[in-house]
Amino acid sequence: MTVATSRVTGIVVAGAALMWAVAGCVDAGGPAGEPAAGSSASPRPTVAAGDLYGASDPSSQALESPLPSAPSPAKPEDSEPPAVTGPPPEPTSGPDTGIPYGADGELVRGADEIFSLTDAEQHVVDQAHALLVSDCLKAEGFTDVIRMPTMPTPGSGVAEWDETMGLIRAESARYGYLGDPQITYSGSDGWGISQDVPVDERKKVLDAMMECQRSTASDLGLPAEGDLPWDIKHAAQAEASADPTFIEAVEGWSQCMASEGYIYARPTEPWTAAPWSYPDCQDGDTRPECAGDAEATRPALSALEIATAEADLACKAEVSMVPVFRAAMWTSQQAQIDANRPTLDQRLDTEKARLHRAQELLRVRGGT
């Protein structure tokens, strides 16, 4: 699942990714995920990574082998996972479409990525701002209270999930809907209060830090305002989900799944509404599966889950769901980018100017 983040200077705020509704359903009888009455499920052909994407996907160099047959029920850690390597640092494109993938393997490179600093560039800005705040705190009598930001860690460059389509990576079917433990995503920790600050002093230090953050906020130049790039990306996802060609692909996928004995109306359902989903536990929930750590009660990986994932991916490939969505989202996003080009370009120029000032500050200070 894709996760959306927004940065307030020096602070990274994580938000839950928005799940867009996908139209289309099939009346095949029976509850979601249960075999249809009278159906006889037969194995579907294996799916190579390139087949699912309709072209060469961003991880195809590492994922050329077909899927293995469904093993007997076992936990993922019982077998040695395949090595995972990602694409080149720059986002790759499918040769038939020219549509770039995101840095973490997202199906489409979003406007939020196009018109924002990279993780490495943002780290430079965070590092410079933390240095300014540290200077301010020292002038107020606080020393060694800042935790400097960590260097960004690169991810695998491979995406397993899409918030509209659920599971999308062919090689991950061997793990059902648990996720490949070898897949990692890029990210870094922002700066904050050092863990060495005593608990009884943290409130006083935090108040001083917030004041220093405000007083130094403009030293590098104020960050670009608004969430236009993210709004454009989300609007493009919504339009792609409502595109008639994509709706037709969803209906075809649902019919394909029904023919194999799996009753799902939408491609996210095998991931979110199946028996192996994590329980949706709320505060005060007294159900046994919600006792203690809810995630620990997820049913163990089963042959049924793996077989469902294999059918899920094979049916997506059969109706070309991924390339259809990629084309629809990219077309919508590009139209919105063109309509807002001056504002978006100005936003990126503002961020690049902040980056230049941060680089100069760190150069003068010797890269500290």
Average pLDDT over residues 31-52: 48
- Residue 51 confidence (pLDDT) above 70: no
Confidence of residue 53 (pLDDT cuts 50, 70, 90): low
- Residue 70 confidence (pLDDT) above 50: no
One DSSP character per residue, 128-154 reads HHHHHHHHHHHHTT--S-EEPPPPPBP
- Residue 98 confidence (pLDDT) above 70: yes
- Residue 29 confidence (pLDDT) above 60: no
pLDDT (0 to 100) of residue 16: 32
Which of 54-68, 142-156, 232-246 is predicted with the least confidence, judged by mean pLDDT? 54-68
pLDDT tens per residue across span 114-154: 999 998 899 899 899 989 998 998 898 888 788 787 777 77
Asked if 325 contacts 164 with a C-beta cutoff of 8 angstroms, the reply is yes
The size of the chain, in residues, is 368
- Residue 9 confidence (pLDDT) above 60: no
pLDDT tens per residue across span 101-113: 998 889 999 999 9
What distance in Å separates the CA atoms of residue 115 and residue 158, rounded to the nearest whole number? Answer: 21
pLDDT (0 to 100) of residue 92: 39
Q: Which residue has the higher pLDDT, 63 or 333?
A: 333
Average pLDDT over residues 333-356: 96
pLDDT tens per residue across span 198-218: 888 888 888 898 899 889 988
Q: 8 - beta bridge partners?
A: 11
Asked if 359 contacts 124 with a C-beta cutoff of 8 angstroms, the reply is yes
Average pLDDT, the chain: 75
> 21-51: buried (b, 16+ CB within 10 Å) or exposed (e) per residue?
ebebebebeeeebebbeebeeeebebbbbbb
- Residue 354 confidence (pLDDT) above 90: yes
Is the pTM higher than 0.75? The answer reads no
- Residue 87 confidence (pLDDT) above 60: no
- Residue 189 confidence (pLDDT) above 80: no
Which of 74-78, 229-233, 306-310 is predicted with the least confidence, judged by mean pLDDT? 74-78
Supply the DSSP symbol for 218.
Answer: T
Average pLDDT over residues 239-262: 97
pLDDT (0 to 100) of residue 91: 36
What do you get for the CA distance between the two ends of the chain, in Å?
36
- Which long-range contacts does 212-219 make (Cβ < 8 Å, 24+ apart)? 212/132, 212/133, 212/136, 212/137, 212/140, 213/9, 213/10, 213/129, 213/133, 215/136, 216/129, 216/132, 216/133, 216/136, 217/9, 219/129, 219/132, 219/357
Supply the DSSP symbol for 21.
Answer: P
Asked if 264 contacts 33 with a C-beta cutoff of 8 angstroms, the reply is yes
Confidence of residue 38 (pLDDT cuts 50, 70, 90): very low
